[in-house]
């Protein structure tokens, strides 16, 4: 039976338009099973605009909305009839298998912990983002690869055990998504150098934990630097054996890395656009390069990621950017379906239990406060 995805249709900046349109596109394109959660009258109006009244899209009416300005913890408890909380409740009761939301990311974390709870033995959940990288191959042109960055905003402060468990979550997710099916995921801690003496005391303590773990699920390679995220390569007949598949860090640092990467991408795109407009010769060259430029756009396309999974709660939850378009919502629905079908939650639970020697630090680390959650997707 196909997975049912509960969509928080009121959480995004332009809700409910993009959420409803994304759901309709997904149903029409692949027969997805979705439940729209929000103000029924507004949702039916959006469906009418899209001439989608006859589609099998159930609506669960809610009278409240958690806004981007609400305090996450307080709003989740006070607004029990909010679209986000009701969507989580649908997953808890088994009426849906996953939730997709472009709403307040801090509230997504708080709601996930309050309604679905964290996995047994886990310290804190984390938000993971997949970034494009280059895979260097000996004797041939580079190939596009992927690197998972975790955490990107759920926990602004962490304990060593939290970071160590992020390594387990990230490696499990990477293997499950088959980003690298033939090789053990290589996991690194983000630091200011590769030497053992680098990093903060937190990082050195997490390093000691991971160094002593004998795991058949991932390979811990020590400290990595920010540049390593985008310069990925592997052994096994190609590359020089360096590179990283999962980069682990606290939510504060991870969010800064993510926003910096997004900003740098926009900056380079704008500079390129400016230079192309300077002369007819540059415009002619750009026309000849159009296939390559179009391919580059697809590589850095934020909407194509399909949102960021909240890893470590007892269920599948996808956090989208607040400004997500209908296409981004549709892709997020697809990602949620993939994770449910692949058995993400039980796989995560098994991995945490398998590496229980890392131990739970008893809920260490502070969850992201309002505005500190990652704007992912």
Asked if the 124-303+346-357 domain carries CATH number 3.40.718.10, the reply is yes
Q: Give the pLDDT confidence score for residue 283 in this predicted structure.
A: 85
Answer whether 253's CB lies under 8 Å from 190's CB: yes
Radius of gyration of the chain (CA): 21
Is-contact 310 127, C-beta < 8 A? yes
Give dist(CA 236, CA 361) in Å, integer: 36
pLDDT tens-place string over residues 70-106: 999 999 999 999 999 999 999 999 999 999 999 999 9
Predicted local distance difference test score (pLDDT) of residue 187: 93
Task: Give the model's confidence band at 57: pLDDT under 50 very low, under 70 low, under 90 confident, else very high.
Answer: very high
Could you report the per-residue pLDDT of 299-346, keeping only the tens digit for each? 666 666 778 999 999 999 999 999 999 999 999 999 999 999 999 999
Distance in angstroms (rounded) separating the CA atoms of residues 29 and 349: 32
User: Cα(361)–Cα(76) distance, rounded to whole angstroms?
Assistant: 25
* Strands in the chain per DSSP E: 4-8, 33-38, 59-61, 98-101, 126-135, 143-150, 186-190, 219-224, 231-232, 246-248, 308-311, 316-319
Tell me if the pTM is above 0.85: yes
* Cα separation, 189 vs 201, whole angstroms: 13
Domain ranges of the chain: 124-303+346-357
State how far the Cα of 269 lies from the Cα of 151, in Å rounded to an integer.
27
The structure tokens listed for 38 are: 């929000």
Strand-pair category, 308-311 with 316-319: antiparallel
Model confidence pLDDT, tens digit, residues 108-167 = 999 999 999 999 999 999 999 988 887 766 666 777 778 899 999 999 999 999 999 999
């Amino acid at each position: 039976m196909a997975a049912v995805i509960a969509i928080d249709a009121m959480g995004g900046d332009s809700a409910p338009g993009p959420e409803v349109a994304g759901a309709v596109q997904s149903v029409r394109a692949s027969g997805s099973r979705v439940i729209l959660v929000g103000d029924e009258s507004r949702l039916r109006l959006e469906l009418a605009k899209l001439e989608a009244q006859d589609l099998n899209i159930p609506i669960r009416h809610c009278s409240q909305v958690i806004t981007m300005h609400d305090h996450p913890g307080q709003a989740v408890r006070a607004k029990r009839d909010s679209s986000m909380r009701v969507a989580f409740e649908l997953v808890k009761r088994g009426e849906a298998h996953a939730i997709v939301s472009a709403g307040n990311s801090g509230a997504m974390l708080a709601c996930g912990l309050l309604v679905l709870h964290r996995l047994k033995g886990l310290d804190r959940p984390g938000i993971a983002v997949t970034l494009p990288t280059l895979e260097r191959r000996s004797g041939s042109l580079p190939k596009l690869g992927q690197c998972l960055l975790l955490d990107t905003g759920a926990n602004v402060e962490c304990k060593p055990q939290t970071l160590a468990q992020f390594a387990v979550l990230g490696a499990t997710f990477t293997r499950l998504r088959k980003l690298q099916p033939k090789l053990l995921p290589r996991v690194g801690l983000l630091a200011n150098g590769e030497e053992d003496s680098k990093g903060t005391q937190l990082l050195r303590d997490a390093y000691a934990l991971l160094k002593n773990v004998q795991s058949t699920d991932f390979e811990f390679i020590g400290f990595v630097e920010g540049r390593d995220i985008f310069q990925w390569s592997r052994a096994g007949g190609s590359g020089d054996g360096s590179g990283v598949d999962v980069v682990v860090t606290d939510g504060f640092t991870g969010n800064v890395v993510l926003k910096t990467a997004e900003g740098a991408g926009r900056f380079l795109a704008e500079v390129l656009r400016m230079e192309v407009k300077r002369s007819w010769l540059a415009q002619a060259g750009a026309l000849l390069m159009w296939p390559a430029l179009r391919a580059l756009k697809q590589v850095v396309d934020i909407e194509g990621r399909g949102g960021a999974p909240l890893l470590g709660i007892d269920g599948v939850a996808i956090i989208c950017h607040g400004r997500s378009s209908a296409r981004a919502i549709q892709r997020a629905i697809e990602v949620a379906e993939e994770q449910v079908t692949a058995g993400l939650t039980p796989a995560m639970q098994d991995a945490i239990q398998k590496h229980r020697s890392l131990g739970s630090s008893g809920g260490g680390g502070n969850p992201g406060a309002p505005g500190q959650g990652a704007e992912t997707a």
